[in-house]
Structure 1
Amino acid sequence: MKIKLLIIAVIAPFLGMAQTPNFTITGKIGNLNAPAKMYIDYNSEEEGKLDSATLVNGAFKFTGNIAGIANSRMTLSREGIRDKEIYGTKGLGDVVYVNFGKEKIQINSADSLYNAKWTGSKVYNEMLAFDQQVGPTVMTVHHNANVAINRANPEQQKDTAYFKTLDKQVQALRISRGQKMLLFAKNNPNSYFALQALSESVSGYGVKPDIVLPLFNKLSEPLRLSYTGQGLYKLLNGHIVTAIGVNAPNFTQQDVNGKSVSLADFKGKYVLIEFWASWCSPCRAESPNLLKQYASFKDKGFEILGVSVDSDKAKWLEAIKKDGLTWPQISDLKGWDNEARKVYGISGVPANFLVNPEGKIIGSHLMGEALNKKLAELMN
């Protein structure tokens, strides 16, 4: 008993240290009270977390632990409904996407989170400087476009030329940011935002890995070896490890019941590894065709393995049920940080890989009739 007590006494201080928050975000938005709530989704390296706070006379506070620089989404809902603010406001929700570090941060605004002033965060200031050099984020561009549409007069609302002009402006800003991000990474090899610029170039702008990889290799060693850096490295080399004819990389994630499922479990069958998400409209639009193909060939040695890049389990399960998906479904619920997505070099969903009974990749990115034709050739 004395030995056990001694061990507890020794480790107790370290447990206390591990639980000490290393960031604090304190804010005040007007004089809002319940049901108004502030939400924060953030991840630092492999951990993703969600927290919320009810506003009391406009005040709220978040504390937590992060391993490095956090990527986050903050949402203010005056009705206390996070998802409605994010998805149900046609791009006009009170939502911001920000980076922060192990800091004590203050947020203040008289009316909204979107217009709030941030103080006490060196990382946030570096993010602003980065955006000033490369141009506004995609979220900001679309938010401003939606504000313009919302303010348009009745004549403009009916004018297709008005919308075409607005769309051209949006696309011009996107192209400009995409080009400037590569230049930023080249000129700032020691900046965390150089790494973020390269990640965004691949995932958000479809820049080819052979263009990004030389820039990645010139980043500082700590950036390259960081969790984010290694994730990007896997993504950049995904086209090599998923080339036609190579052995499909194995991976293991949990199914809807929490049971571990591996790609290797399906060896001996033709397997379509289908990357998708509940929030992805093109993915969901492909579901009826997949259902038809699955019904036709599942008894002939064909299987589908759905890999979701969702982070919200409830929404994932809801989409499976609503679309009537009957094949195995797995996810690590890390959202876009899904480990299998990084290994396979996926920069967008839907995406898929067709694997033969020997475990080799024999097709990729097969949608609609292209998939149907390939399966008909193999199965018939």
Structure 2
Amino acid sequence: MKLIKLSVLAATTLCTLNLMAQETDCTVIAQSKNTDSTDMLYVAYKNRPGSMKFDSVAFVKGKCELAIHVPFVQRAMAYVVKANSGFLRKPITEKGISFYTEQGKVLLEIGENPLDTKRSGTALNNDFQAYSDVIAPFKKKESLMEEEFTAAKNSNDQAKMTQLQQDYQTLNEEKGKAERNFFDTHLDSQISLDWMEQTIDIANRKSEAQAMYKQLSQRVRESDAGKRYGMKIESTQTVEIGNVAPDFTARTPGGEEISLSSYRGKYVFVDFWASWCAPCRHENPNVVKAYATYKSDKFDILGVSLDQDKAAWENAISKDGLTWKQVSDLMGWQSMLAMSYAIRAIPANFLIDPQGKIIARDLRGDALEKKLSEVLK
């Protein structure tokens, strides 16, 4: 769904594994009023790097207990399925329940919707539940917006789709603030480290990542996961303002190869967009206006599309009057061009100076006009 793709969601389930490299015995106790003797609890976890293992147990009178031995504390997934459903012989479509395989007893109180499960019993799972409680209201609103967006898309209600995109962005910002507050009040929790790793885009926010990492307690920083993340922060190349923009080469719709480095000696506005991106198409008239005003031997624009459909890409270029060079590898969100700039949402753009350094980013509307007037005066 485009509503979700345009702005990468902050973590709703945390995914850092191998938190502490120590063997652990964990007992999972699950309770549910919505099960019978034909229901099973399956637990999926890593029994060694790169290998998943599934253990299972039957529910008896709405309760079951499963002892597992794991090589390291990790985030595992539990599923409630029917005994004869062929669960392990087909792709998993059931809603999973996240929990941590911490030493001791982990209690899962499963509601009618597995996503409403309450976790308790160990310190890490208590913190995880606290985090889940923080984001639960936002997840419910996101779900409603997705339904509204689908309805608007089916009825071709462009105005409603655009409004929902804007509302979603606002909601995502509010959720980010709530998650950051959780981080600030749980600096001694592995959950905060997990949230950082899932949410903070180091390539774009390295300085912020460094500062937040230093806020974490010594215990968390010195855990195996903490040490790895600290090394990841320091080794990641960034696309922050002041850094040299990564060079790339890609093809135009006509097959011509264009390199970013060929624009050295002039200011270049690198614009990441796609034909299916409503906010991008809404912003295009502002970019067209800027190009008409400032195009010269000192300034140019290079469009980079996250399209996969070449015909749709070419049609959008023509319809929106984008007369500057356009390139794409037609790989969508798997585009190496987008990955090299850590693109996680579009529209996104970078203003690069004649020496190849990034001097501004994500300029839109009046902000784009103002910045160009400053540097090209």
TM-score normalised to the size of structure 1? 0.46
Quick one: higher RCO (CA 8 Å, sep 6+), 1 or 2?
2
TM-score normalised to the size of structure 2? 0.47
| Larger helix share, 1 or 2 | 1
